[in-house]
C-alpha cells in the first residue's frame, strides 16, 4: 500500500473517530450517581513494549486503602499513539481487564483525560460511557484549556478540569469522566493521594504493576 493511501485511510479513520467522540460526549453525565456510596475504587494503567500492551487493574477500598484485588492482562497493540485519540490505543485493553475483575467497583480511575479534551470525550469519558460507571480522568499533562488562578481549568468557557499541585511534585490534571461532578472528583482524588505521592494510590499501583509486567518479559 502506498504512503498516500495509508495516509488517506488514517485521515478517514481519525475523522470517523472524531465523530464517535463527539457523539459519546453528548452522553457524558457530569453529576454524581444518585444514592451511590463510593467505597471500592479501581485504577487501570497500561504499559507498552514491542507492540504489546501490558495492562494492570488495582481495586482498592477507599476508606481503608487496602487492595482488594489486582489483575493483569496482555494484548497486541492495534493503534499507534495519536494525541487526543488515546481511546484507540488503550480502550480495548482497559475494557478487557475490567471484565477480568471478580469484584465490583464503584468508581474507575483512568490515566488520561475525561471531558478536559478537545472534543470533551477523552479516554476516561469514553470508557465511562461504555461501562456506564462513575469514572474520573487523572492525567499527567494538560491537553487543552486555560488554568485559572484557583487551579480550575477552563475550556471553551466551561470549567472542565482541575490542576492539582503538591509541593515539590509535578501536577496532575483531574477531570470528569462520567457520572460524577468535578468537585466530588477532586475530593476523592485528594483522599487517595498519599502524603508522599502525587498519583492516587489505585492508579499509582496499577502503573507500577503494568510496568513491572512489561519489564519482566525478555
- If DSSP states are collapsed to H, E and C, what string results for the chain? CCHHHHHHHHHHHHHHHHHHHHHHHCCCCCCCCCCCCCCEEEEEEEEEECCEEEEEEEEEECCCCCEEEEEEEEEECCCCCCCCCHHHHHHHHHHHHHHHCCCCCCEEEECCCCCCCCCCCCHHHHHHHHHCCCEEEEECCCCCCEECCCCEEEECCEEEEEEECCCCCCCEEEEEEECCCHHHHHHHHHHHCCCCCCCCHHHHHHHHHHHHHHHCCC
Q: What is the pLDDT of residue 21?
A: 83
Q: What is the pLDDT of residue 39?
A: 96
Q: What is the pLDDT of residue 5?
A: 33
Q: What is the pLDDT of residue 80?
A: 66
Q: What is the pLDDT of residue 127?
A: 95
- pTM value? 0.90
Q: Which three three-digit cell numbers place residue 172?
A: 496532575
Q: What is the pLDDT of residue 34?
A: 79
CA-closest candidate to residue 45, choices 128, 111, 124: 111
Q: What is the pLDDT of residue 125?
A: 96
What the chain holds in terms of domains, given with CATH numbers, is 3-215 (3.30.2170.10)
Q: What is the pLDDT of residue 7?
A: 46
Q: What is the pLDDT of residue 36?
A: 80
Q: What is the pLDDT of residue 15?
A: 75
CA-closest candidate to residue 127, choices 144, 110, 103, 139: 110
User: Is 97 in contact with 159 (CB distance < 8 Å)?
Assistant: no
The list of the chain residues with pLDDT below 70 reads: 1-13, 79-88
**Distance between CA atoms of 207 and 218, rounded to whole angstroms?**
19
Q: What is the pLDDT of residue 196?
A: 93
Side-chain-side CA neighbours of 127 within 13 Å: the count stands at 36
In this structure, what DSSP letter does residue 106 have?
Answer: S
pLDDT tens digits for range 108-154:
999 999 999 999 999 999 999 999 999 999 999 999 999 999 999 99
Q: What is the pLDDT of residue 109?
A: 98
**Distance between CA atoms of 116 and 137, rounded to whole angstroms?**
9
Amino acid at each position: 500500500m502506498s504512503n498516500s493511501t495509508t495516509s488517506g485511510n488514517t485521515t478517514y479513520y481519525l475523522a470517523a473517530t472524531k465523530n464517535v467522540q463527539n457523539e459519546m460526549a453528548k452522553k457524558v453525565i457530569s453529576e454524581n450517581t444518585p444514592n451511590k456510596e463510593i467505597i471500592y475504587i479501581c485504577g487501570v494503567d497500561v504499559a507498552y513494549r514491542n507492540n504489546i500492551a501490558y495492562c494492570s487493574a488495582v481495586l482498592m477500598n477507599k476508606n481503608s486503602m487496602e487492595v482488594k484485588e489486582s489483575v493483569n492482562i496482555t494484548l497486541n497493540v492495534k493503534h499507534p499513539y495519536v494525541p487526543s485519540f488515546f481511546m484507540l490505543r488503550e480502550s480495548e485493553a482497559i475494557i478487557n481487564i475490567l471484565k477480568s475483575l471478580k469484584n465490583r467497583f464503584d468508581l474507575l480511575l483512568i490515566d488520561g483525560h475525561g471531558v478536559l479534551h478537545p472534543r470533551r470525550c477523552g479516554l476516561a469519558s469514553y470508557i465511562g460511557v461504555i461501562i456506564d460507571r462513575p469514572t474520573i480522568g487523572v492525567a499527567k499533562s494538560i491537553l487543552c484549556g486555560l488554568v485559572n488562578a484557583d487551579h480550575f481549568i477552563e475550556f471553551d468557557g466551561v470549567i472542565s478540569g482541575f490542576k492539582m499541585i503538591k509541593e515539590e511534585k509535578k501536577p496532575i490534571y483531574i477531570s470528569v469522566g462520567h457520572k460524577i461532578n468535578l468537585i466530588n472528583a477532586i475530593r476523592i482524588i485528594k483522599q487517595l493521594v498519599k502524603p508522599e505521592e502525587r498519583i492516587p494510590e489505585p492508579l499509582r499501583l496499577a502503573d507500577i504493576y503494568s510496568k513491572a509486567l512489561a519489564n519482566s518479559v525478555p
